[in-house]
Structure 1
Amino acid sequence: MLQQAPLVWGEIAVENMDRALAFYGQHFDVSFRREIMNDMEMAILETEDKQAASIGLVKHEMMLPSMNGSVVYLHLSDKLEPLVARLAANGVSILLPVMAIKEGECGFISLFVDSEGNKVGLWSANR
Structure 2
Amino acid sequence: MLSPITGRGDDDEVVEKYRLVDFSDETQYKIIINELFVEYFQSLSKENKSKAKLALSYYLSRSELDLERLFDSCLPPFDPPKNARDFFVWLWEALFNDEYYTIDPNEVYKIVKDVHEPNRPAKSN
TM-score, length-normalised on structure 2?
Answer: 0.30
More helix by share: 2
Larger RCO: Structure 1 or Structure 2 (Cα < 8 Å, ≥ 6 residues apart)? Answer: 2
Whose radius of gyration is greater, 1 or 2? Answer: 2
**TM-score of the superposed pair, with normalisation by structure 1:** 0.29
